[in-house]
């Protein structure tokens, strides 16, 4: 198949592009490399050293004899999007080309606005271009479990059947986004659902959990193919932060009491889910939602696991309760469905201590690349300066 991977230089996009190319698909990466510029602006960098995109693609070709094309295009420029679809005539489009950090979107008005322009305008441009240029192509869009928030009912896959005053209907599941970033993802979902109903487009919305791990069989082949490892307070996800803190022998900073519960999955399962969605496309006019995760963890429980693994490595990294810089429920109900990808054949991996140890060891090997100034959070949802609690747990 001819597949576009928009945002293919990023964390999920890079792993996906290599995975699909390895399986014989004709892959084109579309990326304007803006994430690299955002890193430079914020003074942050990946823990692992990321090669220039041209070097990455050259190495992939030399290692595998497979070619991934690269187009430097901007999804916020409509002419770029239309030209790309005309030139590549894709069967499927995997859309990762968005600002993906909740903290980034909460830095200030400018960063919130950038997030909305990049995400919402880019998504709208892509839908119009599909309508006008490539209406048969299947859109596989990366959403987020964060769209749902933490409702006090079970989270279904995209839709919920409700009865009200004697009548029944199946409607989009209510959304409670927790940041301006998550608000853009809700808008994306509404746009895509509308476009499928109106223009008979076909789309799969993958509401993904928090992704961990950096290695897939393809990124493991050589150093220039290595994937990103974000650990900072803007782009670093919770497991990465804990593992880097352990590598530094720094306390593991649990926000609030650590009762926040979230969905997670391995990066290898991310690429498997993308491939399953592509190989089993939606029908014309169909907008479907898959909840893309394999496990659910509480933040404190995850910190305890990292603490225990670090101890086995001879590292003391105790849990430290830290004033929560975010506006979120500290204790809440969390039960969610994830059956549709399993029905398509996903065999999930589960987080084990060996992978946690591997991530800690990546931090130890690259300790000179860790900037301690970026280990603790700097972005506050309500504007108050967070301060570490005096008391450590356990």
**Residue 68 in this model has a pLDDT that exceeds 90:** yes
144 has catalytic annotation: yes
pTM of the predicted model as reported, rounded to 2 decimal places: 0.96
**Residue 202 in this model has a pLDDT that exceeds 80:** yes
From 7, 192, 196, select the one nearest 84 (Cα to Cα): 7
Domains and CATH numbers, the chain: 2-230+266-293 (3.40.50.720)
pLDDT the model gives residue 392? 43
Out of 104, 148, 181, 235, pick the active-site residue. Answer: 181
pLDDT the model gives residue 387? 47
**Residue 40 in this model has a pLDDT that exceeds 50:** yes
**Residue 394 in this model has a pLDDT that exceeds 50:** no
Mean pLDDT score, 316-338: 97
pLDDT the model gives residue 137? 98
**Residue 386 in this model has a pLDDT that exceeds 80:** no
Note the pLDDT tens digit of each residue in 111-148.
999 999 999 999 999 999 999 999 999 999 999 999 99
Mean pLDDT score, 47-52: 97
Place of tokens 């993906």: 100
pLDDT the model gives residue 385? 53
**Residue 33 in this model has a pLDDT that exceeds 90:** yes
pLDDT the model gives residue 193? 98
Mean pLDDT score, 223-234: 97
Mean pLDDT score, 221-246: 97
Mean pLDDT computed over every residue of the chain: 96
Q: CA 385 to CA 380: how far, in whole Å?
A: 7
pLDDT the model gives residue 217? 97
175 has catalytic annotation: no
pLDDT the model gives residue 308? 98
181 has catalytic annotation: yes
Q: How confident is the model at residue 10 (pLDDT cuts 50, 70, 90)?
A: very high
Note the pLDDT tens digit of each residue in 241-281.
999 999 999 999 999 999 999 999 999 999 999 999 999 99
Out of 16, 84, 144, 270, pick the active-site residue. Answer: 144
What percent of the chain clears pLDDT 90, i.e. is strictly above it? 97
**Residue 390 in this model has a pLDDT that exceeds 50:** no
pLDDT the model gives residue 384? 52
Note the pLDDT tens digit of each residue in 82-118.
999 999 999 999 999 999 999 999 999 999 999 999 9
Note the pLDDT tens digit of each residue in 361-385.
999 999 999 999 999 999 999 975 5
Mean pLDDT score, 335-352: 98
Q: CA 308 to CA 259: how far, in whole Å?
A: 19
**CA neighbours within 13 Å on the CB side: how many for 20?**
31
**Residue 340 in this model has a pLDDT that exceeds 90:** yes
**Residue 50 in this model has a pLDDT that exceeds 70:** yes
pLDDT the model gives residue 383? 78
Out of 148, 185, 193, 219, pick the active-site residue. Answer: 185
């Amino acid at each position: 198949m001819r597949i576009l991977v928009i945002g293919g230089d990023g964390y999920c996009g890079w792993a996906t592009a290599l995975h699909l190319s390895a399986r014989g698909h004709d892959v084109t990466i579309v990326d304007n490399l803006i994430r690299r510029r955002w890193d430079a602006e914020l003074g942050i960098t990946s823990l692992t050293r990321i090669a220039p995109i041209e070097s990455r693609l050259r190495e992939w070709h030399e290692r595998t004899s497979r070619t991934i094309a690269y187009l430097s295009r901007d999804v916020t420029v409509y002419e770029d999007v239309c030209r790309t679809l005309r030139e590549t005539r894709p069967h499927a489009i995997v859309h990762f080309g968005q600002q993906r950090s909740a903290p980034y979107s909460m830095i200030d008005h400018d960063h919130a606005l950038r997030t909305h322009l990049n995400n919402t305008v880019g998504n709208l441009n892509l839908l119009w271009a599909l309508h006008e240029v490539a209406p048969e192509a299947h859109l596989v869009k990366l959403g987020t479990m964060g769209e749902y928030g933490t409702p006090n009912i079970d989270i279904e896959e995209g839709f919920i059947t409700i009865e009200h005053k004697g009548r029944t209907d199946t409607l989009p599941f209510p959304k409670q986004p927790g940041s301006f970033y998550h608000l853009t993802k809700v808008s994306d979902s509404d746009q895509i659902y509308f476009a499928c109903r109106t223009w008979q487009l076909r789309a799969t919305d993958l509401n993904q959990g928090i992704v961990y791990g950096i290695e897939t069989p393809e990124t493991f082949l050589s150093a220039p193919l290595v994937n990103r490892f974000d650990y900072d307070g803007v782009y670093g996800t919770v497991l990465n932060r804990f593992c880097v803190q352990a590598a530094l022998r720094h306390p593991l900073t649990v926000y609030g009491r650590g009762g926040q519960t979230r969905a997670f999955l391995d990066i290898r399962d991310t690429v498997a889910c993308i491939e399953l969605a592509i190989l089993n496309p939606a029908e014309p006019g169909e907008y479907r939602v898959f909840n893309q995760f394999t496990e659910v963890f509480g933040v404190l429980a995850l910190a305890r696991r990292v603490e225990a693994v670090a101890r086995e490595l001879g590292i003391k990294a105790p849990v430290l309760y830290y004033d929560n810089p975010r506006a979120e429920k500290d204790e809440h109900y969390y039960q969610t469905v994830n059956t549709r990808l399993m029905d398509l054949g996903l065999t999930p991996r589960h987080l084990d201590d060996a992978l946690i140890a591997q991530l800690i060891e990546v931090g130890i090997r690259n300790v000179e690349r860790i900037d301690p100034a970026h280990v603790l959070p700097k972005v506050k949802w309500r504007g108050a300066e967070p301060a570490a609690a005096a008391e450590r747990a356990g």
